[in-house]
Amino acid sequence: MYQKDYILRMIEMIGELIAGLLGLIKKGEFQQAQQSIENAYYTFLQQDASLLQNIPADRLTDTLLQEHNYTHGHLEILSELFFAQAELFYAQGKVKESLPFYEKSLLLLSFTEKVSKSWSDEKQERLSYLRKQLGISEDPEPVELQ
């Protein structure tokens, strides 16, 4: 139970962080936003951003669950970090660079939403937004439940 409570608190904290990051991006404070994103990888996942960002999308959930022993909560946190990175690139006019991060965010959020037993309007809105940014109307592919 302690582990689950800890992960839930981390998810709440990452939500607040993402809101702050989006505010920085909106103000055009891109360097500060980038530094905050990189710090968040260490704070929440104890990993270097580039290590996680370089995992291919088609192996993302398997690699994180099996090789890194991440929980579904960790995947949700990483989805948020990928989303923030995508939004930062998009705001900087780096649309092409934003796409892999939107894709990975969508894959992780779709996976966690499917294994979750609860419904969240906020997550459904995020999924719709991610699909829109990627120009797709449905889930990119069926997600295997682990």
pLDDT at position 141: 53
Q: Which residue has the tokens 């890194």?
A: 68
Of the candidates 37, 36, 78, the one whose C-alpha atom is nearest the C-alpha of residue 55 is 78
CB atoms within 10 A of CB 63: 14
pLDDT reported for residue 11:
77
Q: What stretches in the chain show pLDDT beneath 70?
A: 1-4, 7, 138-146
- CA–CA separation, 1 vs 86, rounded Å? 33
pLDDT of residue 3: 64
> Where do runs of H (alpha helix) occur along the chain?
2-27, 30-45, 49-53, 60-62, 72-91, 95-115, 121-134
pTM higher than the cut 0.85: yes
For residue 57, the model assigns a pLDDT of: 94
Instruction: Say whether 32 sits in a helix, a strand or coil.
Output: helix
